[in-house]
Amino acid sequence: MASHATGDGNIPSRDANQKGLTRIMTVGGKYGTRNYTVKDLRDQKGVKTLTETVPFSIEEASAAEEAGIDTMKVRFDPKNPELAIAIRNAAPNTFMAFSCPLIAAATKDEAVRLGYKAMEIGADAVMTQWSPEFIEAATRAGIPVQGHAGLVPRRSTWTGGLKAVGKTIKEALWIYNQIKSFENAGAYAVEVEVIPENLLIEISKQTSLLTSSIGAGKGGDIQFLFADDILGNNGPPYVRHSKQYKNFFELKKKMQLERIDGFKQFINEVQSGAFPSKEHIISTPDGLIEEFLKKIK
């Protein structure tokens, strides 16, 4: 095994170390280099606040890696995994947890198989809304799992809809016990969504899991925002916990107007005869057309 000198990106061991990367082998059996392993991430608890995002395109994934985002979550469709694979390839050195759809696994065996499929195509971990029983089955199979607590949108009917959770003692204890159940099931991290900041501060102290905060303030070990929010891909209204650092929405509107104008100019020039002009066409040598007409008569 030690004879393998390079990873998927052909980065020799010495160069990988100089770039701050670690040589790894995925659960799927592929060599590669990463900015973090699960152990590295857990070693950062209480030391450094990490950053996390969800890119939705290869351009966003590449930009996030170039900027230095610590970890990414990636939407994983087991029936159409092409985008997840493309994003993995666009950011080959960044730790990624593939987000497995809740309803894609109905049994513990299916959860393990789904996790293995994600790991086979390049995931370093899986992010799930699974029950502790499913998480335990996956972690026993060697799959690193990030759970989901607090406001879990697909389970929000149980907590009263798409709104903050944890503002009563009953809800606060429920969130804490849920996170501890994930910890006992072997998870390495948990996304905590839309709960009070001071509650997450205290919960983070009481669990060995890395807590990834989205809408839960500064209490998490990781700060998580979607790329759509960071880049301002969509117009208002915006959810309160998001922040737009760029305004791609307006840029995209301007680009669409430019597209429309480009098509209009093309149509107008075709109709007026201005296109194609001399520089866009090919001419025959003198006499060729006359000879051609004689031949076909």
What are the tens digits of pLDDT across the range 120-160? 999 999 999 999 999 999 999 999 999 999 988 788 888 88
Task: Quote the number of domains for the chain.
Answer: 2
pLDDT tens digits for 59-99?
Answer: 999 999 999 999 999 999 999 999 999 999 999 999 999 99
181 and 279 belong to one structural domain = no
Domain assignment present for residue 146? The answer is: yes
pLDDT tens digits for 218-255?
Answer: 999 999 999 999 999 999 888 888 999 999 999 999 99
Query: What's the confidence (pLDDT) of residue 153?
Result: 78
201 and 282 belong to one structural domain = no
Q: In the predicted model, is pLDDT for residue 5 greater than 50?
A: no
191 and 289 belong to one structural domain = no
Contacts of 260 (CB under 8 A, 6+ apart): none
* Domain limit, last residue, from 246, 262, 282: 246
pLDDT tens digits for 32-48?
Answer: 999 999 999 999 999 99
Domain assignment present for residue 20? The answer is: no
pLDDT tens digits for 177-210?
Answer: 999 999 999 999 999 999 999 999 999 999 999 9
Q: Which is nearest to 112 in space by CA: 145, 66, 159, 148? A: 145
Domain assignment present for residue 278? The answer is: yes
Is residue 133 flagged as an active site residue? Answer: no
221 and 150 belong to one structural domain = yes
Domain assignment present for residue 22? The answer is: no
Does residue 52 contact residue 69 with C-beta atoms inside 8 Å? yes
Percentage of the chain beyond pLDDT 90 is: 83
State the CB neighbour count (10 A cutoff) for residue 80: 8
121 and 258 belong to one structural domain = no
221 and 277 belong to one structural domain = no
Domain assignment present for residue 16? The answer is: no
Catalytic residue of the set 193, 197, 202, 290: 193
For residue 259, the enclosing domain spans: 251-296
Query: What's the confidence (pLDDT) of residue 202?
Result: 97
pLDDT tens digits for 269-281?
Answer: 999 999 999 999 9
Please state, in angstroms and as integers, the Cα–Cα distance from residue 95 to each residue in 44, 91, 190, following that order: 14, 9, 15
HEC readout, 191-205: EEECCCHHHHHHHHH
HEC readout, 44-89: CCCCCCEEEEECCCHHHHHHHHHHCCCEEEEECCCCCCHHHHHHHH
92 and 129 belong to one structural domain = yes
Does residue 31 contact residue 58 with C-beta atoms inside 8 Å? no
Domain assignment present for residue 119? The answer is: yes
Domain assignment present for residue 19? The answer is: no
Q: Is the pTM of this model over 0.75?
A: yes
271 and 143 belong to one structural domain = no
Please state, in angstroms and as integers, the Cα–Cα distance from residue 34 to each residue in 52, 84, 190, 195, following that order: 15, 17, 21, 31
Domain assignment present for residue 214? The answer is: yes
Lowest-confidence pick of 5-19, 45-59, 215-229, 267-281: 5-19
259 and 190 belong to one structural domain = no
148 and 266 belong to one structural domain = no
